[in-house]
Amino acid sequence: MSEEIKSTNAAVAAEADQTKQKRYMRRLILLIVSLVVVVIGLNVVAAKVFWEHGNFTDYFNSKAFEGLIISLLIPLLLSLIEKIFKIGDKIEADQDQRKRDQMEAQRRVDNERRQRQTDTIKKTNEMWSELYGLSTEVAYFKAGQGKVSIRDLRKKIECLTNKAEEMLNLWYLNFPRVALEVQEQALPGLNLFLLSALTVADVVEDELEQEAEIKSMQNYLLVIQDGIRFGLHYPLIQIFHFAMDNNTFELKKSLNGLRGWGGLFKNLLSDQRPNLPTDKTTVIANQKRDAYLADYQKKCAEPKAALMELAKKLTATDLADKKNQSLLSAESDDAIEAYFKAERLTETSKTEYANALANCPPSLLGLSRKRIFSNEQIKRFTTELYFQTDLIRMQSVV
């Protein structure tokens, strides 16, 4: 079968070469005929002039006749030389080779970019798989069973934050046109999952917790894990595949879906105070925190949204479009200045919050980092994510 294909290809190439040669000969004959006609015509005109002046025989001895004959011989000679050395073929072959080289270079660039994108998707999946594995171990952990302690599981989950940062950098390197929005929508969900797993791990490790409460918290973590898989992981990987294949229609659909889940994750985290143990100083600190958050939202929400929107436009604009790049860059500079100006107006409330935290015992602040969410917060996440994933299941069967 391969020999037949080679034979067919050779025949096609030979036929193309013959066609090319015939086309070249037609052009050459047309050029020679045209030159002969022109020179004959000029000779007729010159001879007529000499005839009218009674010196017709002198024309053939004149410089004009010699010049016209030379003007005919030079292109004929050049055509002959070109035919002998196939200069035209060489020029055309060089042009074809340059085109092939350019196409090959572009193909290599495209293949290398696609390979980097494929590797990025693979590493993203590997990170999620590792996180799911650790979260599942926490959810089914029972003291005295298994080879890994709950403290070691917590350490591994903590270390995943570094991998998450590396993953974000890869998104920006290999999917620059969608990375900014993907990060904005995906990061809240990733944080919610990581911190929920750490919180449940701390509950499991706490010897003062009731066994029934520990079991309930472990079950909550499984529900949260399902919600993250449905709402974040699956659409995230789809987005990268559609971006890699330049499938604009499906890419827009998937981004719209991710925006919905991203809004949910942001909402779930929006009013979540740090889980500070109850104390007079921590109560005041939380009050000052609420005051600063309200102040910041009032003064900075609008300029921050404008800045993020411009950043998305700038990222999505073709680098070759210098005019729009320049305009958007200038607008971004103005937006950045507007944001920092608004942020400076919150300095008073921010300082009051900082001073209130300074009065809190450091030991209490450390405990808040150990158990990031309260049990009630975990229950709230569970209820909302259970509802959203159940909606997807019901809608998928219709």
pLDDT band at 3 (very low <50, low <70, confident <90, very high): very low
Cα dist from 136 to 223, 225, 227, 285, whole Å: 11, 8, 14, 35
Q: Which pLDDT belongs to residue 379?
A: 93
Mean pLDDT, the chain, as a whole number?
80
Q: Which pLDDT does position 1 carry in this prediction?
A: 41
Residue 6 — very low, low, confident or very high, per pLDDT cuts 50/70/90?
very low
CA distances from 387 to 256, 264, 284, 383 (A): 19, 12, 35, 6
How open is the CA angle 148-153-156, to the nearest 5 degrees? 125
pLDDT for residue 335 is more than 50: yes
Note the pLDDT of residue 385. Answer: 93
In percent, how much of the chain has pLDDT > 70? 70
Closest by CA to 202, choosing from 362, 368, 361, is 368
- Residue 276, SS3? coil
Alpha helix ranges (H) inside the chain: 2-52, 63-85, 87-139, 150-174, 176-205, 211-228, 234-244, 248-270, 280-316, 322-344, 347-358, 362-370, 375-396
DSSP-derived secondary structure for 286-317: HHHHHHHHHHHHHHHHHHHHHHHHHHHHHHHS
pLDDT for res 205: 86
**Each residue of 22-68: pLDDT tens digit?**
666 666 667 666 766 766 676 666 666 666 665 655 655 666 666 66
Tokens of 304: 């921050």
Q: What is the pLDDT of residue 69?
A: 66
> What is the signed CA dihedral for 90, 96, 100, 106, rounded to 10 degrees?
120
**Confidence at residue 2, expressed as pLDDT on a 0 to 100 scale:** 44
d(CA 397, CA 310): 39
Judging by beta carbons within 10 Å of its beta carbon (0-12, 13-18, 19+), is residue 338 exposed, middle or buried?
middle
Biggest distance spanned by C-alpha atoms of the chain: 132
Model pLDDT, residue 224: 95
pLDDT at 273 over 90: no
Q: Which of 105-114, 256-265, 290-299, 318-327 has the lowest mean pLDDT?
A: 318-327
pTM for the model stands at 0.65
Confidence (pLDDT) at 345: 92
Confidence of residue 251 (pLDDT cuts 50, 70, 90): very high
Compute the chain's Rg from CA coordinates.
38
259, with CB counted inside 10 A (0-12, 13-18, 19+), is middle
Residue with the bigger pLDDT between 75 and 129: it is 129
* 181-208 pLDDT, tens digit each: 898 899 999 999 999 999 999 899 887 7
Evaluated on CA atoms 32, 38, 44, 49, the torsion sign reads negative
Check pLDDT > 70 for residue 221: yes
AA identity, residue 160: L
> What is the phi-psi region of residue 371: left when phi exceeds 0, alpha when psi lies from -120 to 50, beta otherwise?
beta
Q: Is the pLDDT of residue 75 over 70?
A: no
Distance (Å, rounded) from C-alpha 276 to C-alpha 287? 12
Task: Tell me the CB-side half-sphere exposure of residue 118, using CA atoms within 13 A.
Answer: 7
Q: In sequence order, which residues have a C-beta less than 8 Å from that of residue 148 and are 6 or more positions away?
A: 137
